[in-house]
Amino acid sequence: MSDPQPIPRPGRVPSLANVKNIVAVGAGKGGVGKSTLAGLLSVGLSRGGAKVGLLDADIYGPSIPTLMGVGGQHPSVDQSRKMMIPVDASGVKVISVGFMIDPNEAVVWRGPMVHGLLKQFLEQVEWGELDYLIVDLPPGTGDVALTLAQSIPMTGAVVVCTPQDLALQDAKRALKMYQTLNVPVLGIVENMSYYLCPKCGNRDEIFDNGGAEEAAKALSVPFLGAIPLNASVRLSADSGQLGDNFVGSQDKVTAALDALVQSFCGEVEAVNAKSSGAPTLTIE
């Protein structure tokens, strides 16, 4: 069977006219820390001075409000223009179905309802001027990613995985999906890469280590970094204080996240330069 032809990239929707970069964060399977990484990336970019929005497209598992410390809040509405105003999470503009349902309520919706809500989040939210709109996708290679790719021009996508073989197999499928959707792959992030004991300093590679970097090389896509497994990340996620990981967190978490943000920005710049036809300088 021949590979499917890439899907043409759509035009910009009016509500996103002042958004410079739209980036999807996805994963081939659940449980790899995708939403947490989307939140950490958004916080890291914002701390660096960028204007950032975070769209929670993980409709069936909307964890972004909790991760960003704004659970229980609700977006306001500009009645004159029928536009929702995102919730402000310490400078990051956030929208999520989690603001609109009871935290204990299950989202039992068919595909058309999910597509309708995602379309509303894209077209009827006052995002304003943003350097980055980070979109947290549901896990897997389902139709939400397809809807997104057919609705808006995305700068690229980041794939999150753990080092174990099973997760890497699913990550490769996600990479292939983005290529089919004509969305540039900005790179792979290896989450829960290793564990450093805070008492003795011993390093344990609980889920193996280095597999994502090897997969990135084999697939000719960038490797954005490895984030260690650490209790501080879990605690900050549960408490909605992801910013704590950027202020001297122990066990190399802060250094790893700073490196991730820097690598991410570099890849976004490279994709934009390529798409604009800007000349590149080669030094021999």
> Domain ranges in the chain?
14-272
Q: Are 242 and 68 in contact (CB under 8 A)?
A: yes
Confidence (pLDDT) at 86 = 97
Asked if residues 154 and 23 have their Cβ atoms less than 8 Å apart, the reply is yes
What's the confidence (pLDDT) of residue 212? 84
pLDDT digit string, tens, across residues 225-273: 999 988 888 899 999 999 999 987 566 899 999 999 999 999 999 999 9
Q: Which two tokens stand for residue 202?
A: 């011993």
Q: Strands 87-89 and 92-96: what pairing?
A: antiparallel
Per-residue model confidence (pLDDT) at position 250: 63
Per-residue pLDDT of the chain (284 residues; tens, 9 = 90+): 445 555 444 556 777 999 999 999 998 888 889 999 999 999 999 999 999 999 999 888 899 999 999 999 999 999 988 899 999 999 999 999 999 887 777 777 777 888 888 889 999 999 999 999 999 998 877 778 888 888 888 999 999 988 877 767 888 888 888 888 889 999 999 998 888 777 777 778 877 777 788 888 888 899 999 999 888 888 999 999 999 999 875 668 999 999 999 999 999 999 999 887 655 444 44
Note the pLDDT of residue 75: 93
Give the C-alpha separation, 195 to 204, whole Å: 5
If one looks up domain 14-272 in CATH, what number appears?
A: 3.40.50.300
- The interaxial angle of helices 165-180 and 211-219, nearest 10 deg, is 30
Phi and psi torsions of 133, nearest 5°: -115, 110
Q: Which residue has the tokens 């980070």?
A: 134
